[in-house]
Amino acid sequence: MLQKRQLGTSGLTVPAIGLGCMGMSEFYGATDETESIATIHRALELGVGLLDTADMYGAGANERLLAKALRGRRDEVVLATKFGIRRDGGRRWIDNSPAYVRESVEASLQRLETDRIDLYYVHRRDEETPIEETMGALAELVAEGKIGHIGLSEVSAETLRAAHAVHPVSALQSEYSLWTRELELDVLPAARELGVGFVAYSPLGRGMLTGKVSTDDLAEDDFRRANPRFTGENLTHNLKLVDAVRELAGEKGCSAAQLALAWVLAQGDDMVPIPGTKRVRYLEENLAAAGLELSAADLERLDAAVPIGAAAGERYAPAGMPKLDK
């Protein structure tokens, strides 16, 4: 079974590795509900008691999928979901207004078929709504027992401090991996100063750090086809970074994915990666990273091979970048 980690000083204890469920419903090509549910059930068998979703994944379909998979097993997991990204057809916008906070949580509770959400994140910051107002509304939901803990996603150190001053923030979820390390400069230190745990999404660089991803192999509707890091000269450059990871992985007798996850785990006991997968075999491969020990020399070598800012290209297409670090 996986060891447990505490998310900061909030008292929220979770497995050292969680499961990101987004790709089970959208963004990464074809979906298969039966296979996804089998993956969730296998995750529970292996002690992965942290499942991560959001109301916008599949426009609610992902939350309904988790509800179906967890029937009769709800108490086995810390269930995390997010709100704040509204969708209307192809249009998306951010809404953190107090009224939408309550509207969103009620809708998620219904889709998830539960009376509580253990960890509820602000998915993206709405700059039109003061973070203090959003946190005030979330604090009311904590008092009512509808949510257990409050989280933020992809916010700046300044926003994190302002939010935490209103009500304790238990977790900050942002992209973090060997090729996305910029938050080490100010956001991660602020989280640690405040006692906020860190949940790393895309800890495998959206699959790139597995060493198994080629743009030519991606489905036509896979969003990575438009991701700057997966195209043109950026891709050529980034594959060279992956080669360095694969080389060390080969020396240690593990996969590149396991090495990349072990690196995230080694960054601190307050760090919980949530690699996403919809297949049992990749789930099992990922979880084996928890038993991989990295020496100081291993970590130094990886730091040198993939330093902060090493990856070429922005993390998202141009439309998504303005929503980050707000």
Q: Which of 28, 57, 176, 201 is catalytic?
A: 57
Number of domains in the chain: 1
Q: Is residue 218 part of a domain?
A: no
List the helix and strand counts (H, then E) for the chain. Answer: 10, 12
Range(s) of the domain holding residue 191: 13-207+264-292
Can you give the pLDDT at residue 321? 54
Beta-carbon contacts of 284 under 8 Å, excluding residues fewer than 6 positions away, are 42, 46
pLDDT band at 326 (very low <50, low <70, confident <90, very high): confident
Residue 52 counted as domain residue: yes
- Secondary structure element (H or E) that encloses residue 255, with its range: none
- Compute the average pLDDT of residues 299-323: 82
Q: Beta 271-273 vs 4-6: how paired, if at all?
A: unpaired
Q: Is residue 36 part of a domain?
A: yes
With respect to residue 199, please indicate whether it lies within any of the assigned structural domains.
yes
Residue percentage of the chain with pLDDT more than 90: 75
**The pairing of beta strand 171-175 with beta strand 147-153:** parallel
Enter the DSSP assignment of 70. Answer: T
Listed in sequence order, the DSSP H helices in the chain are 33-45, 61-69, 98-112, 131-144, 157-166, 187-194, 232-252, 256-265, 280-287, 296-305
Let me know if residue 239 belongs to a domain: no
230: pLDDT confidence band, cut at 50, 70 and 90? confident
Q: Does residue 127 lie within any of the structural domains?
A: yes
Kindly state whether residue 38 falls inside one of the protein's structural domains. yes
pLDDT of the residue at 322: 60
What is the Cα–Cα distance from 30 to 218, expressed in whole angstroms?
Answer: 10
Q: State yes or no: pLDDT of 303 exceeds 60.
A: yes
Here the CATH number for the domain that contains residue 75 is: 3.20.20.100
Active site includes 28? no
Burial of 299 (C-beta count, 10 Å sphere; 0-12/13-18/19+): middle
The pLDDT mean for the chain works out to: 92
| Model confidence band, residue 77 (pLDDT cutoffs 50, 70, 90) | very high
Is residue 29 a part of any domain in this protein?
Answer: yes
Report the alpha-carbon distance of residue 110 to residue 182 in Å, rounded: 37
pLDDT band at 124; cut points 50, 70, 90: very high
What would the two tokens of residue 81 be?
């979901």
Q: Does residue 17 contact residue 264 with C-beta atoms inside 8 Å?
A: no
> Distance between CA 6 and CA 77 in Å, rounded?
15
